[in-house]
Chains A and B, each alone.
Chain A
Amino acid sequence: MMKGGSYMASMRKVERHQARTAYLFITPTVLLFAVFTVIPVVMALYLSFTNYDVLSRNDWIGLDNYRRLIDDDLLWKTFRNVFLYSVIFVPLNILISLLLGLLLSRAWRGVKLFRTFYYLPTLTSAVAAATVWIWLLHPEFGLVNGLLSYVGITGPAWLSETRTAMLSIVMLTLWQSVGSNMIIYLAGLQGVPDYLYESARLDGAGKLDCFRFITWPQLRPTTFLVSTMAIIGALQLFDQAFVLTQGGPANVTKTPVYLIYQQGFNQLQMGYASAQAFVLAMAILVFSLINMRISKAEEPVV
């Protein structure tokens, strides 16, 4: 009895000690998380109910900011813009990065070179890349329209026309983001066990069947990760749109983040900008949840 009791006591002591050490280890991260994430989010939520302007006012005005949101045509237009962008960007992003991943997962000569090439655009800064794309897309002297003119097509003024401006931004962001998603898919493909393919082949499954019944379902968690990140990134689109088109022409490429920045820092209406930011956060949450449902992320992979 005595022995058992002291054993229990020393176990508890060890556990307490371990717990203390564990808390000590996570303290820096938790502190950083609290200071840079939790506190600002709570602050912003509070500010969204005030008329805060940084300089002179900080009064509680209840739901006035949120009421004003309803009539804010420009805000809803920016949301429509990023939704349109997401609808084109997210599926294309998944498709292209998956295809690249499949192509480059085999070990053939020079594959590492190609992996590097496809990954390179991810490493360039968004602003620098956008500047180069402005030249490529110039209506008269740009490379894109130059190539088009060889096959007899007069290319549009990509960035200045309302019907092609958003498409140009999709092209640039795809070019920049498929590289990193390709890497994620490559990692996912490595994780698909070989015995599944082997037994499928023994059962007489073709290549397409293998992809449809093994690769794609096995990659479900990877696809969920890639699509969620793409959706969040798409809804927060800012720098590429800002450098390429400054939100123009006719506001077709203006995004919520751009508008929030402008409202807060240029017009000093931080309270209202915070309210706009919360609507954006909610939108991101809702679309991530929908995405979770569609990709059945919670069901186990068999």
Chain B
Amino acid sequence: MKKWLITALSLVMLSALAAGCGGNSDNSGTPAAKNSGTDAGSKTEKTELTFWGDWGGEGQKQFETMVDAFNKSQDKIHVKYVLQQDMITKFLTAATNGGAPDVLFWDRWRTSLYAPKNVLHPVDEYLTRDGISKDDFYSESLTELSYNDKLYGLPLTVDARALFYNKKLLAEAGLQPPTTWDELETAAAKMTKWKGNKLEVAGFSMADLGLFNMYLQQAGGTMLTEDGKTNFNNDKGKQVLEFWDRLMNKDKVYKVGFELGLGEGQDAFVTGKVAMLYSGPWMLSTYNKYGKDLDYGVVPPPAGPNGDKGSVMGGFGLVIPEGSKHHDEAWEFIKWWTANKDNALLWAKTSLNLPGFKPSMEDPFFQNDPLWKPFLETLEFAKVRPSHPGYSVMETDALAPNLQLNQQNKLSIEDTLKKSQEQGDKMLKDNEVVK
């Protein structure tokens, strides 16, 4: 407990220090600004913006590419990217004690937790003023950035999971990529190889039970009701668990813990130990590194028993903290990056992410690539997670534990759904927005 407190306190001090450093860098930035000012003959000072993100390494370079391009594109605003490893915790202290950044790289699902606390600046007026059409973005991604009909930023990336399959293994089984649950089951069963008690090739990865939401959509269900209660203790939820039960216990296409600890380089899909799995566009660059050694394809998620399609949309956005002193300039930067066809495309190509801006996706870079195309199709029906501040707690602490018990045959399907509902409803209530 003491440790925790000490951490909290030292974070406060650290952020104070960080704020101090920020001030210094502002000063060091001014001479450059003055130089460019004298060129123009007038004494216009550049506005210094701080942009926080938690992407280091390659991600940091990608961010800096965009920041440099923006800084060169005009002479009024100068943006500086600051890497914050523990960004959200830093933002917590900065938001209240001053020193908040001007632009924040934002995992969109956090909006429902932070927006009610008035630490983010709404952007609706800017959108109207600059005539930016909401139709140019996936409406789901805007929903995730909204709270009480106010929009708090623009989407920078969009992603959704689709089905990755090993072409070689599928060809050996003599099958086509699956489009329905039944085909998925057949393919998974056929590609699985056991040697005695040892699983050698898993036909289909069942490691991530957090994908329940996706399967539930495919069964035609939704995670929450309109009034913020769980909505899976019904036939739809049962269909998902029965499907999983068939895959795990009848077809035995997977073994619990099979992929745990197999990181990059030993990745089970790369080494051919997993024949199919659900994953997102963020894995493309990793898998493409293996070139010919890994011949794989991607298809949209197979449809459920009634033909329903489903996938969960996620991704990042850019938001403006309320504590920033330069809301207008921050908006200019966000607009330049996320709502401009060329810039969003530059970002997409630099970072190999799907941009949040739809017109950029019409580029041949995405349209003609057999690996990107299935994701574009998936995004057409993908839905974001429900925007309830307690949703992620419900999913990880009420639903997932019971699903794990069910997967290990320690809890019946009926009890799994019933317990998840009881515990889930309680957690949703305990973590709802306090008005």
Contact = CB atoms under 8 A, between A and B. Distances in A.
Interface of A: 35-37, 39-41, 43-44, 51, 53-57, 68, 71, 73-74, 131, 134-135, 137-142, 154, 157-162, 236, 248-251, 257, 260-262, 264-269, 277-278, 280-281, 284
Given A138-B261, A250-B402, A157 B430 contact: no
Interface residues of B, number: 47
Contacts, number: 126
B258 interface: yes
Given A54-B92, A55-B96, A277 B4 contact: yes
Contacts of A264: 4
B378 to A, nearest CB: 27
> 4 tightest CB-CB pairs across the interface, nearest first?
A160-B257, A157-B257, A134-B261, A40-B5
A157 B3 contact: no
Contacts of A161: 256-257, 408
Interface string B413-432: 00000000001001000110
A44 B431 contact: no
A277 B92 contact: no
A159 B431 CA distance: 30
Max chain B C-beta neighbours (<10 A), residue from A40, A135, A269: A40
B18 interface: no
Interface of B: 1-6, 8-10, 88-89, 92-93, 95-96, 113-114, 117-119, 197-199, 255-258, 260-262, 389-390, 392-393, 397, 400-402, 404-405, 408, 410, 423, 426, 430-431, 434
19 contacts: A37-B2, A40-B9, A41-B5, A54-B92, A54-B93, A131-B261, A139-B258, A157-B260, A160-B256, A236-B3, A248-B400, A257-B4, A265-B88, A266-B393, A267-B393, A268-B92, A268-B117, A277-B1, A284-B1
Contacts of B2: 37, 40-41
Contact of A250 (B6, B92, B404): B404
Given A37-B2, A54-B96, A161-B256, A249 B408 contact: yes
A36 B257 contact: no
A160 B407 CA distance: 11
A139 B199 CA distance: 9
Contact of B199 (A140, A266, A267): A140
A260 B260 contact: no
A7 to B, nearest CB: 48
Contacts of A41: 2, 5
Contacts of B434: 51, 57
